[in-house]
Structure 1
C-alpha cells in the first residue's frame, strides 16, 4: 500500500507527456508479462555434468590422469620470425582527429610496435611468466594448462582453494598482479590459487571437434579441481570466466563454497523491463538504487547504443571466426591492434576520444604485449575466437544453464566502466543467494588487470562473509 501511495505521488509530479509515457509503458509491460507467463519454461535446479571428448580422432577410453610440470619457453628463431613479420607491416594513415573512434589509431600503433620491435624483451617476460608454477594435465582429450600457486604457510592462517578464470582477449596472465594479494598476505585468510587457460586459449590445447562451449569448459575445470584433490572451493571470474564459473556452480553446487563475479549477466524479463521503463522516475519501486540510476540512464544512449558500437567483433566471432582469424593469426601487428583496442575501450569507453586510447593509464606496454605474445606464440587466436560461435550457435537463452538458477553464495562486484551495468535486482533473478553486491569506485572490464587491489579486497570480504555463515 505504501508503495502505491509513493507511486501515485511520483506519477502526479510528472509532466503530462511523461505521464503518457508511463501509462503506455505500463500497458506494453502488461502485454509482455502476459506473454512471458504463457511461455515461461520450467526452471531446473542443477545441470547434468555429462561427459565429452574433444581430442583428435576417436576417444580411446583411456585417460591419463597424471599432472605434468610445464614451463613457458621461447627461442631465437621464434623472436626472429616475429621481428621479420613486424618489419614487413603495411600501415594505413588514420583519419584526422579520429583518435580511437574508428578502432586502433595507426599513428599510436606505430609507437607501440616500435617499442615491441626494439625494446620489449620477450625472453625476460618468459621468466616473469615462469615466476609461478605451471602444469598440464589431459582432460577429455585436451592438454589443459594451469598455474597453481600455494601461499607461504603462516601459523594460524586459513588457506582456501580458489579458481580464477579469465576471458577474451585475456589470459591467465591477467591475474599476475592480483595473485600476491591473495596468496602472499599477512591476513588471517589466504588462498591456494588455481588459474587455468580456457581450452583453445594460450597454452591449453584447442578442441578438435565442434560444439565446445562454456558448459564443456566448466565440466573440464570441475574435473581439474577434483584431480587436484579439492572437494570444495571458491570461484572467481569475469567475461567468459563469469559464465564458465557460473556453469560450474550450476553443475556441482555442493563443491562450490562461493562464486564471485566481476561481470554480471541477468535474464531478460518483466522485472528488467519495468526497471528500464520506470527506473529513472521511481527507482525505489523497481528495485534500483540511485547509483543504479546513475549508471543505467539514459538507458538507450549509455547502454544499448554503446554496446552496439562495441560488439561488431562479437557478431564476426559468433558467425565466421575462422575467416577473420586468418589475418590476425598471421600478422603480429594485426593481432596486437585487434587485442589492444579492447584493452583500451573496455577499460573506459571515453578512451575512444584519446589519440593513444588511454592504454598506458592502467597498463604497461610490457604487460599488454606479454598478453599479446601468449596468443601469438601459441597461435591460439582463431581457436579463442571460435568459443563465441560454439556458445552462440543457438539462442543462449534456450540452453539449460539459462533455465537453471544459481543457489550457491554469490558475490558480485560492479565496476563503473563495465560495458553493461547490472543492478542487484536484475542479478537476483538468476543468482538466488547474493551475499555481497559492491559498487566499486573505479575500473572496467579487466578488473584483475586494472584494479587488482580493489578486486582482491572485494573477493576477500565476500569469502569471509561466506565463511562466517
Structure 2
C-alpha cells in the first residue's frame, strides 16, 4: 500500500470517529476545553501582581530631614519690571538663520514665522496681563519628600442634586498646568449630574514645582508624591486624568493605590509593544475583524504604520537628546527665550497634526492663540525649568521600560480612553485590554491631537463626564 493511501485511510477513519460522536459528547468536550482555558486564565490572573509598591523617596538638597513641614501655603505667580526687561533684551539680541525655500516646518520651526512670533512676544504680548490670567485660580505649594510641589485647586460651583467628584489632572511635556485653563470651567461649572473639584499639580521639575536635587526621579516617584498630595488635601478616593507623561503618572497612581483611584481617564495610551500587536498589525490591514480592529482603527493605523519607522526618525530626535544628554541640550534653551519658544512651539505644531509640517506657520494659530502659547513658554522661561523637565526623559528611559515594575503590572481600576485622531500613536481598543483590565469607556474622538485639553476642551470635558457618570452609576447599583 502506498504511503499516500495510508494517510487518506487514517484521515477517513478520524472523520468517521468524529461523526459517530453524539452531540452531548461534543458539548462536554467543548465545555471541558473552555473550563480548562478559564482555569488557566484565572491562575495566570491570580499570579500577576495587582499593585506596585508605594515606596518612599527624598528629593530635597542634602540629607533627608527627620520631619517634614506638611503645611499647605498659598502661592501667587508674580513678575517684575526687571524680568520683563531682561526678556526683551534677549529677544532683541536673537540671531536668526534664513529658512530654506519652501521648507515650511519640515526642518523644524520655520525661522520666518519665528521672527513674527518673536516680534509679537516683544511688542504685543503682555506678560503682566497673563500673570493675572494665571492667578485667576487659587495656587498653592506644599513640601513633599523634600521639594516644593505646586498645584492649583479649583472648587466647583455646585447646584442642588449635583455630586462633587475630586479629580486630579496631570500634564506632560512640553506642557504645564496652564493646558487645563480652557477645560476647568467646563468641569467645575457644569449642570451635569456630577461636578468636579479639580487639582492640577505641576510635575516636580516643571513650572512652579521645585526640581528634584537627586538622580532618579521618575513617573513612579511623581505618582507617589501626587498620592501624598491628595491625602494631604483630605481626599481618600478620587479620579485621575492625564495625557503624555500625565498618562503614565496617573496610570502608575492607579497601579500604586487602586483603593484610592475610583477611575482613570486617559487621552494617550502607553500600550505594551509585544509580538501579538505586531501580528495583529500584519493581519489587521486585510482581515481587521480577526484582530478586533474597527474601521476607524484601520483608518488611523494605516498607512501610517507602514511608514512608521520613517516618521519615528523624523519626530523623536528630541526624545533621544533628552533621554541621554538633557543638560547639554538644555543650556542653549535656558539662555535664549526665542530658542526655547522654537523648541517648545514646534511640538505644539506637529503634535497637534503632522500635516502642519506642510505650512509655513506650522498651523499654530489654527487651534491656539499666541497669548496662550507664549504663556506656556513663559512658565518654562521664568522658572528655568526646561532642563529639569528634559531630565524627566533621562530618568524614565535610563532602564528598559518593558521590565520596569509598572510595565509588568496590569491596571485594574475602571478606565476611560479618549482616542484623538491626531495623537502621536493610535492604540486600538483591542490592545488596551492587555494593560487596562477594566475599560469602561473608549471614545473615537472626531478631531484633535496630543494636547487634548488645550485643543478640544469641550470634547475632552464631555468624555470625562460621561466616563465618571458611568462609573458612579455602577457604584450606586
**TM-score using structure 1 length:** 0.90
Pick from 428, 432, 435 the counterpart of residue 427 of structure 1. Answer: 432
**What is the DSSP-based 3-state SS (H/G/I as helix, E as strand, rest coil) of the residue aligned with 1:319?**
coil
Pick from 180, 196, 203 the counterpart of residue 201 of structure 2. Answer: 196
Pick from 139, 143, 153 the counterpart of residue 144 of structure 2. Answer: 139
User: In the alignment, is the contact (CA less than 8 A) between 2:254 and 2:264 conserved in 1?
Assistant: yes
Residue 241 of structure 2 corresponds to 236
Pick from 445, 453, 461 the counterpart of residue 456 of structure 1. Answer: 461
Residue 209 of structure 1 corresponds to 214
Unaligned stretches of 5+ residues in structure 2: 1-46
Q: 1:108 to 1:299 in 2, by over 3 A?
A: closer
Residue 373 of structure 1 corresponds to 378
| Coordinate RMSD, CA, aligned | 0.9
Q: 1:380 to 1:367 in 2, by over 3 A?
A: same
- Structure 2 matches for 1:14-163, cutoff 5 A? 43-163=48-168
| Comparing 356-365 and 59-68, the one that deviates more | 59-68
User: In the alignment, is the contact (CA less than 8 A) between 1:52 and 1:216 conserved in 2?
Assistant: yes
The total of aligned residue pairs comes to 428
Aligned-residue offset at 1:306: 1.8
Residue 178 of structure 1 corresponds to 183
Residue 343 of structure 2 corresponds to 338
Take 2:128 and 2:384, find their aligned partners in 1: how far apart are those partners?
Answer: 18
Residue 360 of structure 2 corresponds to 355
Is 1:406 matched up with 2:411?
A: yes
**TM-score using structure 2 length:** 0.89
Take 2:273 and 2:339, find their aligned partners in 1: how far apart are those partners?
Answer: 36
Take 1:179 and 1:441, find their aligned partners in 2: how far apart are those partners?
Answer: 21
Take 1:304 and 1:447, find their aligned partners in 2: how far apart are those partners?
Answer: 25
User: In the alignment, is the contact (CA less than 8 A) between 1:271 and 1:286 conserved in 2?
Assistant: no
Aligned-residue offset at 1:273: 1.7
User: In the alignment, is the contact (CA less than 8 A) between 2:65 and 2:146 conserved in 1?
Assistant: no
Residue 9 of structure 2 corresponds to none
Deviations along 1:265-305, whole A, 9 cap, x unmatched? 21122321221110001111111111101100125345343
Q: 1:299 to 1:125 in 2, by over 3 A?
A: closer
**What is the DSSP-based 3-state SS (H/G/I as helix, E as strand, rest coil) of the residue aligned with 2:311?**
helix
User: In the alignment, is the contact (CA less than 8 A) between 1:303 and 1:419 conserved in 2?
Assistant: no
Take 1:188 and 1:154, find their aligned partners in 2: how far apart are those partners?
Answer: 10
| Comparing 59-68 and 92-101, the one that deviates more | 59-68
Residue 394 of structure 1 corresponds to 399
Residue 5 of structure 1 corresponds to none
Take 1:375 and 1:302, find their aligned partners in 2: how far apart are those partners?
Answer: 34
User: In the alignment, is the contact (CA less than 8 A) between 2:238 and 2:263 conserved in 1?
Assistant: yes
Aligned-residue offset at 1:61: 1.5
Is 1:223 matched up with 2:221?
A: no
Aligned-residue offset at 1:59: 0.3
